[in-house]
Each structure stands twice: as C-alpha cells, then as structure tokens.
Amino acid sequence: MASKYPKPNRGRFMCYCFIFVVFLCLFASINEVRFSGLLRLGRFAPSNETAPTRNESEDLRILISVLTLPDQYLRRHFLRLVYGTQTWEGAKVEVKFVFCNLTKEDQKVMVALEIMLHNDIIILNCTENMNKGKTSTFFTSLPEMFNDTSGVGPYPPFHYVMKADDDTYVRINSLVRSLRPLPREDLYYGFVIPCGSMDPFKHYMSGMGFVVSWDIVEWIHGSDIPKKHVEGPEDKVFGDWMRWARRGKNRFNAKWSMYNYPDPPSVCSHELWNDTIAVHLLKNQEKWIRTLSFFNHTHSLNPSKFYHIP
Ligand SMILES: *[C@@H]1O[C@H](CO)[C@@H](O)[C@H](O)[C@H]1NC(C)=O
Ligand SMILES: *[C@@H]1O[C@H](CO)[C@@H](O)[C@H](O)[C@H]1NC(C)=O
Ligand SMILES: *[C@@H]1O[C@H](CO)[C@@H](O)[C@H](O)[C@H]1NC(C)=O
Ligand SMILES: *[C@@H]1O[C@H](CO)[C@@H](O)[C@H](O)[C@H]1NC(C)=O
Ligand SMILES: *[C@@H]1O[C@H](CO)[C@@H](O)[C@H](O)[C@H]1NC(C)=O
Ligand SMILES: *[C@@H]1O[C@H](CO)[C@@H](O)[C@H](O)[C@H]1NC(C)=O
Ligand SMILES: *[C@@H]1O[C@H](CO)[C@@H](O)[C@H](O)[C@H]1NC(C)=O
C-alpha cells in the first residue's frame, strides 16, 4: 500500500506542473500580443490612427521642415500640438523637425524617445549654427534622405519643401490651398524681403517660411554654387543662390498672407486677419495663445461629458 501511493501522486504532480507551465506560456503570449499591440498603437496613433480626419490626397505632397535646436523639447511638444490638431484637404503634408548633431549625453536618450514615438525628426551631419550653412546642409541632404531606392514610392517624394522657423505658425490648410494651383517646377515662394517690397524677383524670401519645388532641392544637392556660398543670413544666402543660378522663374509673394505678429508693430508686421498662411515671431506663449484664439484653432473640439471648457 505504502509503495503504491507515491506513484499516482508523483504522476498527478507532474501533470499539474505541466498544465501550470502551459498556462504560464499561454498567459505570457496573450500578454505579449496585447503589449505589442499597445506599442504599435502608441507609435502610430499620432500620425495615422487617431489623427483628425484629413483628405490626404497623394497628388500633392508637401514637407514642412521646422529648423530648431535639439534642446527645444517643449517647443517641439507645443508645435506637435499645433500641427497635429490641424485639418486640411487635398494634400499629404509631413511636418519634420530639423537640427544638427546632438552634443550632450541626455539628448541621446531624450531625442531617441521622441523619435520612437513621433518619428518626425531629422538630424543633419553638422554642428549647430545659425548662419553658417545649416539651411544649406538641410537642403543638400534631402535628396539622399528621401531617395527611394526601392522604386515603389512616388516621385518626387515631395512636390514642395517648406523651410519654417520654430516661432512661425503655419496654417496648413491655407498653405495647401495657396500652393495647389501653382507650378511644381522652379518655384520659389514666400514673404518677400525687404518687407516694404512686393517684387519677388528682386531680393529673397524671408526665413520665416519659404517654399521651393523639389527640382530646386535637387539642384541644390548637385550644384557647386551653394557649396561655395554658405555664410550669412540663411534666407539671404538662399536668395543669392537662386539669383546667381537664375533659378526660381516661378516666384510667388505670399505677402500679406504671411507676416510678423503685430506686436511690436513694424513694416514687416500686420494685424491678424482671416487671409493668413503664416504668422511669424511668436516669441512667447501669450503671442501663440492670442494667435491660436484668433484663428479659432480649438473650436473644432467636440463636446463631451468628460470635460467642460468655457
Ligand atoms: C500608417 O500610414 C502608413 C502610410 O501612410 C501605412 O503604411 C501604415 O500601415 C499606417 N499604419 C497604421 C497602423 O495604420
Ligand atoms: C480628396 O481631395 C481631392 C482633391 O481635393 C478630391 O479630388 C477627392 O475627391 C477627395 N477625396 C475624398 C475622399 O474626399
Ligand atoms: C559628416 O561630415 C563630416 C565633415 O563635416 C564628414 O567627415 C563625415 O564623414 C560625415 N559623416 C557622415 C555620417 O556623413
Ligand atoms: C556628426 O556626428 C557624426 C556621428 O554621429 C559624425 O560622424 C560627424 O563627424 C559629426 N559631424 C559634425 C559636423 O560634427
Ligand atoms: C538615389 O539612388 C540611386 C540608386 O541607388 C542612385 O543612383 C542615385 O544617385 C541616388 N540619388 C541621390 C540623390 O542620392
Ligand atoms: C473669417 O473666416 C471665417 C471662416 O471662413 C468667416 O466665418 C468669417 O466671416 C471671416 N471673417 C471676416 C472678417 O472676413
Ligand atoms: C472665429 O469665430 C468667430 C465666432 O464664431 C468668428 O466671428 C470669426 O470670424 C472666426 N475667425 C476666424 C479667423 O475664422
């Protein structure tokens, strides 16, 4: 008798162990699926899934590149709110933040985190600088970055590339509507400098936000002119290249749909008004708030039981 008992017990014990292990495995695999599902959602939600409904027609593609600095985490957070909540029709628009080489240890983690979640950052091979060729490096790097060697993507990757400042509010729908009827070759578009001038063929477009067509981006990539002349105010330097190479036969002055914020008043500023593509020099929160309020940026917020915003 005594020798009979242990056997079935051991057998039962082994059986329980087996069931337990199977159960553990099942549990783990279910969780893994759920966990990776969460990750996937987290990563893509900002760009595709919960994004406001947009008619992202592929027949017009625009890259809005905001030149900024690695340490400007809060500014990027705010700009993602400002651009991520806009709706527009009839174009695919990508917003990317652009800066030079990281220089601090903490940036390697902080910026990597941002990229993992938002994937909207371009790090150029340069040392951070204002007027020593960052813009030139940016445009020169684009054709290789967006070179679609698989051949399945559309060409050009973008019809237009805008360079914008991080203190500029770009109203994407107005920009799309303004660019849609324009030529897609040899285009140089923006706010003409000097501020008093309305002649886009004389000088250059302000760095607050200018647009060029993709053929010009490719030309910059291949040409010697931009390589020889990089120092100076980036927008003026860009205008010099265009003039020297006789580029930008199609020029459009977006004044007064683009302008500096009305305070302080200057020849470059304008009252906020309906017909606006971009407002520049939003140097503090108050100016941003007044601008977003003026354009009813948050009016499309849906009513809900969960909040009340008067
Ligand atoms: C997000 O959009 C890209 C292309 O725009 C698409 O390939 C991808 O499947 C989308 N992701 C999700 C989760 O829908
Ligand atoms: C998207 O916009 C394009 C161009 O404006 C238009 O031709 C097309 O019908 C629109 N598609 C939808 C689903 O609204
Ligand atoms: C970055 O630029 C430097 C010269 O400024 C060059 O020596 C280096 O090879 C470049 N690195 C990459 C990864 O392109
Ligand atoms: C930028 O960083 C890369 C490596 O991350 C390095 O190869 C390159 O030389 C750096 N460029 C400059 C201009 O410092
Ligand atoms: C793009 O890739 C193709 C094929 O690899 C290459 O021939 C071409 O020079 C590349 N263009 C640029 C701008 O890098
Ligand atoms: C500004 O635009 C909005 C929406 O398009 C319109 O309702 C409003 O009447 C316009 N205001 C002026 C002053 O034109
Ligand atoms: C914002 O909304 C107000 C009230 O609904 C309207 O009078 C005004 O024209 C709107 N402004 C713009 C720029 O659409």
127 CB within 6 A, ligand 4: yes
Question: 140 C-alpha vs ligand 3 centroid, how far in Å?
Answer: 13
Report the pLDDT value the prediction gives residue 23, as an integer from 0 to 100: 63
CATH number of the domain that 266 lies in? 3.90.550.10
Domain that holds residue 116: 62-294
d(CA 230, CA 243): 15
Is 28 part of any domain? no
Residue 160: both structure tokens together: 């237009």
Q: Which residue did the predictor score with more confidence, 48 or 71?
A: 71
Is 9 part of any domain? no
Is 43 part of any domain? no
Is 19 part of any domain? no
The closest-lying atom of ligand 1 relative to the alpha carbon of residue 56 is 5
Residue 51: both structure tokens together: 């994004």
Is 21 part of any domain? no
90 CB within 6 A, ligand 2: yes
| Longest CA pairwise span in the chain (Å) | 109
The number of angstroms, rounded, from the C-alpha of 140 to the middle of its chain's C-alpha atoms is 18
- Which tens digits make up the pLDDT trace of 114-157? 999 999 999 999 998 777 889 999 999 999 999 988 888 899 99
Residue whose entry in the numeric block shows the structure tokens 């060697």? 149
| Predicted confidence band of residue 248 (pLDDT cuts 50, 70, 90) | very high
Report the pLDDT value the prediction gives residue 310, as an integer from 0 to 100: 82
Phi, psi of 41, deg, nearest 5: -55, -50
Closest CA to 208 of 250, 156, 158, 270: 270
Is 85 part of any domain? yes
Q: Which ligand is nearest to the CA of 140?
A: 5
Residue owning the nearest CA to atom 4 of ligand 2? 90
What mean pLDDT is predicted for residues 193-215? 93
Is residue 69 within 8 A of residue 103, CB to CB? The reply is no
Across 126-168, the runs of DSSP E, i.e. the strands, are: 160-165
**Domain total for the chain?**
1
150 CB within 6 A, ligand 7: no
275 CB within 6 A, ligand 5: no
Is 49 part of any domain? no
Q: Which of 125, 128, 136 to mutate to test the pocket of ligand 4 (most atoms within 8 A of CB)?
A: 125
Is 81 part of any domain? yes
